Chain A
Amino acid sequence: MVTRPMTRRRFLGGAALGAVGAVLAACGATPTPQVVEKVVTSVVEKEVTKLVEGTPQVVKETVVVKETVVQEVVATAAPTAKPVELRFEDEAEIGPEGFKVFTDVLIPKFQQLNPGITVKFEPATGDWSQKITAEMAAGDAPDVMVAYGNAARQWMESGQLLPLEDVFTKDELVDFYDEQLIAFNVNNHLYEIPKYVSTIVLAYNKDAFDKAGLKYPDDSWTWDDFLMAVEKLTVKDSSGKTTQWGYRVMQNYIAHWPWQNGGEWMDKEAMGTKILIDQPKSMEALKFNWDIQFTYKYSPMAQDMEQVGAFDTFQTGKLGLAEAHSWQVTDYIARNNFKYDYALLPQKEKRVGQIFADGYGIFKGTKDKNASIALLKFMTGPDAEREMCTSVLGLQPSRKSVASVWDTLSQGAKAGVNVQAFSQMAKVARLDPYFKNNAKVREIFNPIWDSIWVTGKVGLEEGVAELVKKVNDYLATVS
């Protein structure tokens, strides 16, 4: 073997060749279509022959069809010459095990589809929104993040999030509930895309209903039916101590009651500038709830069950009826050791529910806009929504096209409970009310609301009158 010495010319020539190769390789980083196997689920109505009372008959029934198809999936991000690492912050309503859906499933899938983009997951826990606000002030916030509540409004109003109206076409947005998009629209810019939808339905304890000899709630239930059941479901022992309550009034999520009664909570669908809960129809609805708690004592006061939070009361089995939010479905499955199910909310003049807006936004100072948009599109896309819906996260999809997956394949559906009630309520729900300068309005509102509902030191009429005056006086100064 002859060894030739490395000359300067030979070295430079080799280096140049290597550099050209590297450039070509980088140019070739365009994601190639990948062939993947995918399980597609569809819900179809078909005719089948069945035995009905001993006679074979052709009946129509809805079946879930699963089929494995081969699909080409193409990376969604524009090719990037150099690798980029994105920071993604999200929370898991059900606790730490929910984070694995992001770290073990969704993020690896996104990275596989988008070579060159690495996603670093940051779990949103504790005072995460304050942390992000501070990071925004320092210009170093996560590239893509979950956003809702007062903090999200502040981020949108101060332009900390990237406007997305040019990123999503109108056709793409049609798939989302209008109410959620209204919440994310500030100063004519769309700053967030819905992550999931949270709606309210009625949860009922089947064991308690059976014991009381009551028929389960159905779609025809009115407020009168509801009140009658609540009364019969309230059980006291021989000493007069309540051992089971008919219902728990949720005074902090109560706006749909005035709506059902034809009343209003505020003067606008979003960013209210006047509170209207003192109007007769609204007051009548509030009085209906107040009577359940204070006059008839069918509902526990907060201090009667202070060892459990408002959202954990039904799981104790000591309530006949409760309002359940869709994000609680997997928690109910895990903790309810009694028979229960869901039904539509009872109606008065009309059936109205409440919808809450949780979305994803992109930090305006993101280090790579295209990559962040790709991540946001992925996380709000049908595949991710399907995963969040069917996994332990158990989130109701904000895309109407994925609603059928919630109805048939989510953990609630598999557990045999009527999760379709959530989908039905989502169609007739209105946006959770929030006012202009909502955080300041809450500062005025909450103590008086506490005095009415928590301590009971102030009567309903007196408290509402004081509250309406103070809130409207304040809103008049900022409107």
Chain B
Amino acid sequence: MSSESLTGDAARRPAQQRHSKFLFWPSQRSMKQQEEIASWIFILPWIIGFICFTAGPMLTSLYLSLTEATMLEPPKFIGLLNYRNLFSFDEVTSLFWRTLYNTSYYVFLSVPLGLILGFLIALLLNQNIKFRGIFRTIYYLPSIIPGVAVALLWILIFNRQFGVLNVILSWVGINGPAWLYDETWAKPALVIMSLWGSGGPMLIFLAGLQGIPTELFDAAKVDGAGSWQRFWHVTIPMVSPTIFFVLVTGIIGSFQVFTTTYVMTQGGPANSTMMYVLYLFNLAFQQFRMGYASALGWVYFVIIMLLTMLILRSSALWVYYESGAMGD
């Protein structure tokens, strides 16, 4: 066998075979390794950041949740005592159930209402109306105003004597309550305030609505579908992935409500707006009970994770993907 025949033989191999051999050439393998190393170097800053600022603190807090830790003294291992105390129904021991109720009340009212309002505004602004761009900007603007500024603004709106809300209510003969100073009305006030940020979901819904092919509406029209049927059988299924996204991110975000209550009510009056994260913050940074606060944080993580999983599972029943990816 001559070397010439070998060369000629190799040259006659199909392209795919040549390619596979290409990968195993020693010089090319080292290039692949180099590329692999380069990729690791590129993602290393993120990995280091994740380990140092996310995974590391998470594991530390998991350990702290099993200790009595004050931040300034060495933690003492106490096993599951923090978790046992946490679930106590006695409010002197723990405000877990009260804060979970307050937060759930807020989440399960503010998220659906915000979602519906955002969707309705998006539907309106998806129409061919004059100054559409200006309206879109106006509706979106409130959602980018910093939380503290919004909170201060709404303190004025909820003012019992001079607040805009009570002035409007007085026009229809209603004597408005002392919103933030009333145990009954303080939580609904926070829900009302949360609707201020509906511009965020609106923008996402608008993008979703604009992604629906017009042929679908045309075909439905040809088949004799009315506007309600087109909305119900075309629009809703086509934007259901968007609804799903807004719902999941909205729920996770609302469970973390903190700024508004911290600025507006400090959890009062009489703990009626004491939200879970504010309670956790108070335990950690006012009472310096870091161990207990860590346990509270981990339980919350599990609750939010389970809820998110539930929504993810349920999405197979109500979210429509054109590609059918979720159904596969």
Contacts and interface: CB of A to CB of B under 8 A. Distances in A.
A binds B: yes
Contact of A303 (B156, B178, B282): B178
Interface in A126-141: 127, 130, 133-134, 136-137
A142 to B, nearest CB: 15
Interface string B270-307: 11000000000010011110000000000000000000
A133 B285 contact: yes
A451 interface: yes
B181 A303 contact: yes
Interface string A145-157: 0000011001100
A301 B161 CA distance: 12
A137 B160 contact: no
B285 A473 contact: no
B268 A447 contact: yes
B174 interface: no
Given A127-B285, A448-B270, A454 B181 contact: yes
Given A127-B285, A307-B162, A450-B268, A133 B181 contact: no
Which of A130, A134, A155, A474 has the largest count of B CB atoms less than 10 A from its CB? Answer: A130
B269 interface: yes
A440 to B, nearest CB: 6
B92 A474 contact: yes
Contacts of A133: 71-72, 285, 288
A304 interface: yes
Contacts of B287: 150, 439-440, 443
B73 interface: yes
A303 B268 CA distance: 13
A233 B161 CA distance: 22
A457 interface: yes
A447 B271 contact: yes
A134 to B, nearest CB: 8
B72 A137 contact: yes
Contact of A154 (B161, B182, B288): B288
B269 A443 contact: no
Interface in A82-120: none
Contact of B183 (A127, A302, A457, A470): A457
Interface in B148-201: 155-156, 159-162, 178, 180-183
Contacts of B180: 303, 306
B104 interface: no
B75 to A, nearest CB: 11
Interface residues of B, number: 27
Interface in B179-231: 180-183
A455 interface: yes
Contacts of B285: 127, 130, 133
A450 to B, nearest CB: 4
Contacts of A444: 91-92
Contacts, number: 77
Interface string A436-452: 00011001101110110
B235 interface: no
B315 interface: no
Interface string A281-304: 000000000000000000001111
Interface string B65-93: 00000111100000000000000000110
Nearest to B268: A450
A473 B286 CA distance: 21
B73 A306 contact: no
Contacts of B286: 150-151, 439
Contacts of A473: 92
A158 interface: yes
Contact of B160 (A155, A303, A440, A450): A303
A447 B95 CA distance: 12
A134 B268 CA distance: 26
B270 to A, nearest CB: 4
A160 interface: yes
B183 A155 contact: no
A127 B181 CA distance: 24
Interface string B260-271: 000000001111
Interface string A42-65: 000000000000000000000000
Given A133-B285, A155-B72, A447-B270, 8 more contacts: A154-B70, A306-B181, A307-B159, A450-B268, A451-B270, A454-B268, A454-B270, A455-B181
CB-CB nearest 6 A-B residue pairs: A303-B178, A303-B181, A158-B72, A439-B287, A447-B271, A447-B270
Interface of B: 70-73, 91-92, 95, 155-156, 159-162, 178, 180-183, 268-271, 282, 285-288
30 contacts: A133-B288, A134-B71, A150-B287, A154-B72, A155-B72, A158-B70, A158-B72, A158-B73, A301-B181, A302-B181, A303-B160, A303-B181, A304-B160, A304-B161, A306-B155, A306-B159, A306-B160, A306-B161, A443-B95, A443-B282, A447-B269, A447-B270, A450-B268, A451-B269, A451-B270, A454-B268, A454-B270, A455-B182, A455-B270, A474-B92
Interface of A: 127, 130, 133-134, 136-137, 150-151, 154-155, 158, 160, 301-304, 306-307, 439-440, 443-444, 446-448, 450-451, 454-455, 457, 470, 473-474
